[in-house]
Every structure is written in C-alpha cells, then in structure tokens.
Amino acid sequence: MLKKTASWLLLSVIMLSACSNQAPASTTETPAATTEQSTSNTPATTPESSETATTPATEGTTSTEATTPEQSSESTTAKDTEATAPAEYTYHMNKNYDIVPNEESKETPKKVVLLTFDDGPKEKKMINSMMDTLDKHHAKAIFFVNGYRIKTHPELLKLIHDRGGIIGNHTQDHIVLKHESKAKVTQQIEDTQKLIEDTINEAPRFLRAPNGATNDTVHALAKKHDMLYMNWSVGSLDWVNQKDPDAVISNVMDQLHSGSIILMHELPWTVEALDELLTKLEAKGYTFVDPNAIEPKMR
C-alpha cells in the first residue's frame, strides 16, 4: 500500500512538472508570434501601404499644385496682362493729317482711309443705321462727340460705344476754341473728357477742335490727357451740300488719297450716302483703319 501511494505521488509530481514547462513555452510563443507578425506585416504592408497611400497622394498634391493653383495663377496673370497690355500700334498720323503705316505690309497697307463723324450723338435711328453700315463693311470709325449732347442723351453715347464705335472728344459746347481763354478751353475739353469717361468707363484717345480751330492750349491739353489731336485731310462737305447724299460721295472721292482722314457728320443725308461711299472706297482698293491701331502721337 505504501509503495502504491509513493508511486502516485511520483506520477503527480511528473505531471505537474510537465504542465509547468508547457505554460512558459506557450507564453513565449505568443509574443514571438506577435513580434513576427508585427515585424512581418510592418515591412510588408506599412511601407507599401505608405508608398501606395502617400506617393500618389504626394504626386496628386504635386500635380494639383502644379496644375490647379499655379496654372490658374499663370492663366489669370496671362489674362490680366492681355487685358492691360497696350495696343500694338501699326499706324501713325503725320503732320498733313494723313494716316501712315509704321511698316507697310499686307497686314498694314498704305491704301487706307480713316472714317470720322463729328457733332453727335444725335438720334438713335441714325446711329444704328450708321453702325449697321460700318458692320457690313467691317469698318470702324471715330465719333467726335459734344458734351452738351451727352448730357441730354447719355444712352446714345453708350449705344455708339457698345456697338464698337471709338469715342473722341469734340468739346463741351462746340465753340471756336482759338478765340477763348486758356481757362475756357480747359473747361471745354476737360469737362467733356470726364463726362465721356463717366458715361462709358473709358477716356477718349482722340481730340478734335470744332471747325479745326486749334491753338497751343488745345495741343497742351491733348498731350496732358494722352490724346492724339486730329483734324482731317478730306472733308465730305456734308454740312454745306445739305440733303444731297450724292454730293457727300463725290466730295470724298474727288479728294481721296492714301491715308485720308475723312470728316463726316451725323446727318440724315450722310447716313443715306454711307453704304454707297464705303462700297466705292472698297472698289478702289481702300481698306478702313481701326482707330485703335493708331499711335497717340503725331510724327
């Protein structure tokens, strides 16, 4: 009996010892497995995941920075530059009041005329008819306007401007400036300059004295306000041969030469003559100068 008891005690000790050794082994394996999984997964997933997640993101960010903000900024700058860049002047006015190409070429031919109309704006119907004819012939013109007329009908000035007419300063009250004081001349020109700019948000680049009667004060004011003082080299005499469209045409054609600055007025018979006149000019090989292409200084 004693031997059996001793045998059971010995067997129990052996089993307890085995269980005790198995537990630490299991504890050791768990951290080892965790470490291995962590070590294995980290290089296998984190860098790849990081490269996958960050590289495209970085590339995307770089791409976004390179295209969206920078290109947008460059595009805006380009537009701003284009909007504010000065016109490329290809013609100038000489001392004979003729328009001359800076460099004669197919793009800037010598056989040109400049169309100008004085003493408006008067009537919506006449203005629209004139602009329709100019559009038909792909022509532009300078409209030398009076301040007192603008005060009465500012909408007519806006109509000319909105339809592509170039606005010129023709003084406030259409008086003969060479007989007036410096103060009066200044008032006549500068009041009209401001009125035009306030009405169409654009200052005139051209000045013409009524009757072409100019003096040093007029020229000094033109220079002060960056305007080109402009008389004419061909008169239509539409203010003399009234109600006679044919006389308007013949007067222009008789005096016609390369570079002619043609003086006309906003008058019913001139409006009636305009389409035929421009057709005859084109038949003789003349084209129409865009006033925006003319330098602001005489030379």
Task: Given the residues 92, 161, 170, 265, select the one marked as catalytic.
Answer: 265
Give catalytic status of residue 265 as yes or no: yes
Question: At residue 218, does pLDDT exceed 80?
Answer: yes
pLDDT tens-place string over residues 135-180:
999 999 999 999 999 999 999 999 999 999 999 999 999 999 999 9
Cis peptide bond N-terminal to 121, omega within 30: yes
CA gap 242, 230 in Å, rounded: 24
DSSP letters, 212-273, are: G---HHHHHHHHHTT-EE---SEE--TTTSTT-HHHHHHHHHHH--TTEEEEEES-HHHHHH
Name the residue with higher pLDDT: 230 or 14: 230
Question: Exactly one of 92, 98, 118, 170 is catalytic; which is it?
Answer: 118
| Residue 189 vs residue 59, higher pLDDT | 189
Quick: pLDDT tens for 256-282. 999 999 999 999 999 999 999 999 999
Number of C-beta neighbours around residue 238 at 10 A: 27
Over the stretch 188-215, which tens digit does the pLDDT of each residue have? 999 999 999 999 999 999 999 999 999 9
- 118 counts as catalytic: yes
Residue 87's pLDDT band (boundaries 50, 70, 90)?
Answer: low
Does residue 105 or residue 10 have the better pLDDT?
Answer: 105
pTM strictly above 0.85:
no
